[in-house]
Chains A and B, each alone.
Chain A
Amino acid sequence: MGNSCLAEKKSLCVVKSVGDSVADGRYFLHSSFTSAANFISEDGAFVCLVSAVKEGGPFNIVLSSGVPAMTGSIKISLPIIEVDGAVADTSRAKIYDSAVSSLRGGFAGLAALEKEYLRLASPLSLALALDKRRIEGFRPGFQRTLAEQILQACALLSGGDYAGGARLLNGAGFGFTPSGDDFLAGVLLATHFLPAGEPARSAIFGAAASSNPVSLAAMRAARDGRACEPVKKLLTALSLGEDASSLLPAVLGMGATSGADFLAGFIFAFKSFKGEGRC
């Protein structure tokens, strides 16, 4: 029983916030971890039930407690959320507004942030895309081959072959959501702040056909200009010209390297796609 609010139907899950991209429907458990459980619907929609230690996200339903140890389903007909048949308390739930595309771009502090990012990012993250010398941190063999492929993909993206670059990155690398997918999500989000980002965005998303629903949801959100709370806070600070370095650890703390890979993609796109005629 423990802290499972599902084990006793009388005790409700209390919902703190619901992401603005959470859609009505019936969802079934896809994968669960200590503080998050992923669900997909029959038509491929995605939601993530997360514990109070996590923050809002476009598809996140944030609970005020831990994530129940569940094997069941979620039925959503907002504002009603049923978790394994028990109606959750959504009376105090806020809607998390994940849109970042309205933020003022420019991001003058991005160069300073990149410096700090490179200091903190894990050696095996795709920070490699921003500093090729980091390839030395990848062991000869599988890791080095992966690193070389990432650099090749980056060269394609920089050269305007967005679909080609995306295909090499999609599904490549470490982790439950492969590093390349996280990187692509960062690239996709960045295109919203670039002068002619739309063609790049369409080409990249079109080429990235992940069958991992978690990766796909992250890329879809980025394509639509949406981001989870740690990323939104960071971008908001940057857009206001504030020092965002204190917000960096929260993003880097997402997964083993997911946050770092996402940011690598974001910064990379900013640096590489800005050139005239590229996008």
Chain B
Amino acid sequence: MLTKGIIRKGEYFDSVALMNAAKELGSVKGVVDSAVVMGTKENRSILQNSGLLLPEFANSGDADMLIAVKAENEAAVKAALEKLDAILSKKKTSGKTAEARPRSLDAAVESLAGANIALISVAGRYAGALAMSALRRNLHVMLFSDNVSLQQEIKLKQFGRDKGLLVMGPDCGTAIINGIPLAFANVVGRGSIGMVAAAGTGLQEVSCIVSNEGGGVSQAIGTGGRDVKKDVGGIMFLEGLKALVADKDTKTILLVSKPPYPAVMEKIAAQAAKTDKPVVAVFLGGDKAVGENAGLACAGTLKEAALLALAVDSFGGKKSKRTVLAAASKDLKARLAADDKKLKAQAKKLSAQVGKGRKFVRGLFSGGTFCTEAQLVMGEVLGKVHSNVPLDPGLKLADSLKSVENTVIDLGDDEFTVGRPHPMIDYALRCKRIVAEGANKDVAVILLDVVLGYGSHLDPLSELLPAIAAARKGGGKGIVFVASVTGTDADPQSRAKVLKGLQDAGVAAYGFNADAAAVAGYIAGFAGGAK
């Protein structure tokens, strides 16, 4: 038996990294005992009592890290120390927490006792079974994977509901639970606005707006877009709403979705009506009347919904729900009207840059919810807006690769993501399309969304700006580029930096998707593109 160790003077790592490193050491073949601890007097005493104290540890202090390995032979000691060195060096370089990577659900559960949520991102055909295993272990589930069958989704959600567990997804891109962002999520402040959404980028947009405008998010629960459709019946949307009603940190509730199936919508409205907490909702393109009749404050856009939730939340429960909702709606109307006036004026100015004969908008979106919102906003100005995911089935593009008049494309739709990463990560397809649209002589505006945060492309400007330059060079002179940026300054990419980078490149960049869509619509309208 052999005992060896090293002392790393003045090095420190967070507790999670230290424990994971110790666990990794213990898993090396031939290692009998090991310790990775700070060199306090008491830890040295325990090392001595367990036969792991080495002479070189004698002069260590509280700020030094001690690593000791007892193994069957020299090779095992060497392998263990090398492994540890690699883990800690990697962590030191990246500045982030080194984590053990379990290779199965069992191993993951074992390595993190007390965990109560499983984030599943594996190929769709395996995801359903894995989610069911997690539910059986009393874990809430966030199912990032798509291509899980509808039947399986229903089964998972019924099972989860019966056990009092959330099943977020399948195809759930975003959630923030107890301040922890999961998957595609942003670094937002904590606060008292709780959200349930069946619209991933919609949830990102409203959570970022809330944070950027000085508010905070208590919880953001995603359900996956199919949840509010007829077959699933809103099982998890309703469970999410129930969870927010019970959540002590949530004072105001914000619901976000594309239009739910009518019967589902009624169930949601009925449940929301029961709580004393004020509920703001945006069902993009849906019938506001159902929600409003149930006492909800219904917004038409994500921007309006987030600002309304903030206004409502600022009352801090001091007045009745009805009074608060009415007062907040009234206050917000004035701001939205002023904003619209300003946007129209900016669009008028920008329209002077539009080349002769150019009159249509081409929206190229990575966020499906943004694509829907743009259809609604621009539809009011331009009339018909074609899409691969149209609100009106009659406006569906025959070929998603060929735009018609005013067109918006959801590049995150399944037809574009088979065998390639999501467009929030991989900009290649969108950049190619920007250049292609730039060559069309009838295009006046190219409208883009840029989604920041964890999981998204870390340097979107490095992809978009060359594509925009190429489009301008290749016949796109006279096209106005308009973009929205969804994110916060605390995101890894920094919203302020991206906005500035776009503006410096001559792109009209906005902090709200609805504003960008409005400007794009107005420009095309001024250019004669309304249909």
**Residues of chain A having any CB pair with chain B under 8 Å:** 1-3, 5, 11, 16, 31, 33-34, 51-55, 63-66, 69, 92, 120-124, 139-146, 149, 167-178, 180, 210-212, 233, 237, 246-247, 249-250, 252-253, 255-258, 260
Contact = CB atoms under 8 A, between A and B. Distances in A.
Interface string B163-193: 0000000000000001111000001111000
B419 to A, nearest CB: 31
B180 A65 contact: no
16 contacts: A2-B493, A16-B189, A34-B14, A52-B188, A120-B114, A139-B26, A144-B50, A149-B46, A171-B40, A172-B42, A173-B37, A176-B15, A176-B18, A237-B248, A256-B16, A258-B15
Contacts of B411: none
Interface in B26-59: 26, 32-38, 40-43, 46-47, 49-52
Interface string B81-120: 0000000000000011100000000000000111010000
Given A53-B187, A121-B114, A211-B61, A176 B13 contact: yes
A130 to B, nearest CB: 14
Interface in B476-531: 488-494, 496-497
A55 B192 CA distance: 13
A255 B16 contact: yes
Contacts of B159: none
A13 to B, nearest CB: 10
Contacts of A3: 187, 489-494
A176 B490 CA distance: 26
Nearest to A237: B248
Range of interface residues on chain B?
Answer: 35 or more
B62 A210 contact: yes
B214 interface: yes
Contacts of A122: 112-114
Given A34-B95, A172-B42, 4 more contacts: A122-B112, A144-B50, A175-B15, A176-B18
Nearest to B176: A53
B70 to A, nearest CB: 7
B336 interface: no
Contacts of A124: 19
A250 B52 CA distance: 35
Nearest to B61: A211
A212 B40 contact: yes
A180 to B, nearest CB: 7
A149 B38 CA distance: 17
The 10 closest A-B CB pairs, nearest first, are A171-B40, A141-B33, A175-B15, A65-B490, A256-B15, A145-B50, A172-B42, A120-B114, A171-B42, A255-B15
B12 interface: yes
A250 B248 CA distance: 13
Contacts of B70: 141
B63 interface: yes
B190 A53 contact: yes
A65 B187 contact: yes
B15 A64 contact: no
Interface of B: 12-16, 18-20, 22, 26, 32-38, 40-43, 46-47, 49-52, 61-63, 68, 70, 95-97, 112-114, 116, 178-181, 187-190, 211, 214, 216, 246-248, 488-494, 496-497
B18 A175 contact: yes
Given A120-B116, A121-B113, A255-B15, A64 B33 contact: no
B190 A142 contact: no
A120 B115 CA distance: 7
B187 A66 contact: yes
A3 B491 CA distance: 7
Contacts of B180: 53, 253
A123 B489 contact: no
Given A64-B490, A120-B116, A176-B15, A141 B50 contact: yes
Given A171-B41, A211-B61, A65 B32 contact: no
A31 B92 CA distance: 12
Contacts of A177: 15
B194 to A, nearest CB: 13
A35 to B, nearest CB: 9
Contacts of B36: 174
Contacts of B13: 176
